[in-house]
Chain A
């Protein structure tokens, strides 16, 4: 019987397949002792060539860059096309805006990566060890301080300060004071409110409180204070700012860091695995700052008269506008802002870790690089915010009213009839809100959680669409507020009253998802863009202030998600009943 060989073995033996090399040939000659026994292997490579460095870094950078492009470019293209095609208006400084948008993309890329490399390791280590080593009050105090730190580090906070420069002191003195002279206090108050929200949210995890009573309890003072301010004409103009800060605070730094600590505390107490862990802090962190800012407003109002503020604002404008130090003019200012935003948070986290926990982090070099990335990213982002997002939003916002009303300096305005132009402006805002929200990555994550939490009753897609519709309607409503100069309070009040009624009827899961969805949707791109849009729009239509759009965009999804949830439950009940009826008939 002849020996049989496989064809593949024949190929291999005759070397007709792919090239082969002995693995051992890749190694340099190892270190040997006198007898020729191997002591130690030498590594295959002693250094990485520059070409290899490029090959390693290129896909890494490209994927991160692409992620941010995905978030920024569609919105920017939409705004530009709207301006060119519908308003038939060309951009001034289009290169500066393009450069600014590029800076936003690069800045966010560095910032997000730095956050992952440099700040998140602190969050994870502190979140898992602090609650086990320290007593509850100490942990809660640290949570409170952390809330302040993360608020300063939140990229969208810079947009508030930028917005302050465009407020006219004569029209809204208290708003001007809050955003300029008191701006650091404002951020501090917002931060303290976020910290307090984190503390209450953590206690909720620990003791398993329902979110519903917390919502009722925190809405009561907010709405009460707002009513008081709405009835005083000099304070009413700052109401929009107060409500908008709630949306600004819950961003990419706050949410993961505060959640890491909160969940860590709950896990240390053995209560970490309820499906609702992690919900609620975002909700409270978007309601508490409103109260905080309103209290600050009342404090400022009780110590300063409008006349004093106007006088103070006018005085330096005359004397010292010419020679500002380098750190007070544009590129320097953004860099200082970036460093001031990140460093305190990093120092705080480092002190907690090294002094209280006596822990050391695994990769100090990597973490330092991450912190450097965060700071570099924040600086570049701030530059991009000034020249790109704010300019684009402001320009579009200033021109959209042209569609239906006369604007100084534009001879051909209004371009369309009043009805057509007005509808165009509202549709513009609606689509902008929808588009910006659908693409938000945080919403996708929330959708997945919601789907598993409700056992599939609430599909991920359903949640994304209903949140987007809610935000879109809120933004459109906000624009209407600016056009018709409606008082913000009387638009927010019915919204929240409706939300309270819906909360009462909804089940705990839907309440958690719905209220958190409001805070999750407003990321570092949407917030500055919508703020700038509102302010540009406001100044073009001679409104007193352009705030308030974001706050309406926060109520919108709360209502739309709960209605969708109730509808989903109703349909499920009907199906169950129908199935039972069929069964009974059989």
Chain B
């Protein structure tokens, strides 16, 4: 195993959306269409709104999908809006999203992007 110097990426945010089961694919598609890379989906079960709604609860699925997308903080509002609209989070009972600042992240940096990074330092 070869040790490689790690490059930390800063100013990253995590956008987490909790949506009705089945919506995650729509959201990830919208995220990709907006030019972002994509994200991951977990299954989850929520409580709260169903208990509050009484019999109306039948219209709200207890099964939820949690979509996590990481992006640069520069684009957080743009991407949050894309997810908000794709998930129809403006309608009651459809879920919510949060934006969390990430301290640092690290991953493979593609060569083309690494070159851009290097140029940025010299300028």
Q: Could you tell me which A residues sit within 8 Å of B by CB distance?
A: 6-8, 17-18, 43, 45, 48, 52-53, 55-57, 59-60, 113, 117, 365-366, 369-370
Contact = CB atoms under 8 A, between A and B. Distances in A.
A17 B77 contact: yes
B58 A117 contact: yes
Contact of A18 (B11, B54, B81, B91): B81
A369 B56 contact: no
Contacts of A6: 11, 73-74
Given A8-B77, A56-B60, A57-B56, 18 more contacts: A7-B74, A8-B73, A17-B77, A18-B81, A45-B52, A48-B53, A52-B92, A55-B91, A56-B56, A56-B59, A56-B92, A56-B93, A57-B59, A59-B91, A60-B58, A366-B57, A369-B55, A370-B58
Given A6-B73, A8-B74, A60 B59 contact: yes
Contact of A365 (B52, B55, B59, B76): B55
9 contacts: A8-B73, A43-B52, A48-B56, A55-B92, A56-B93, A57-B56, A60-B59, A113-B58, A366-B57
Contacts of B54: 365
Interface of B: 11, 52-60, 73-74, 76-77, 81, 91-93
A459 to B, nearest CB: 22
Contacts of B58: 60, 113, 117, 366, 369-370
Nearest to B76: A8
Nearest to B77: A17
B14 to A, nearest CB: 16
Contacts, number: 42
A429 to B, nearest CB: 37
B53 A56 contact: yes
Contacts of A369: 55, 58
B36 to A, nearest CB: 15
Nearest to A365: B55
Contacts of A365: 54-55
Nearest to A64: B59
A45 B60 CA distance: 17
Contacts of A18: 77, 81
A147 B91 CA distance: 43
Nearest to A366: B58
10 closest cross-chain pairs (CB), A and B: A60-B59, A8-B74, A56-B93, A56-B59, A52-B92, A56-B92, A17-B77, A55-B92, A57-B59, A369-B55
B55 A366 contact: yes
Q: Point out which of B57, B58, B60, B92 has the most chain A C-beta atoms below 10 A from its C-beta.
A: B58
A266 B45 CA distance: 27
A53 B54 CA distance: 12
Nearest to B53: A48
A6 B11 CA distance: 10
A6 B77 CA distance: 14
A24 to B, nearest CB: 16
A67 B36 CA distance: 33
Nearest to B51: A363
A68 to B, nearest CB: 17
Nearest to A9: B73
Nearest to B56: A56
A57 B54 CA distance: 13
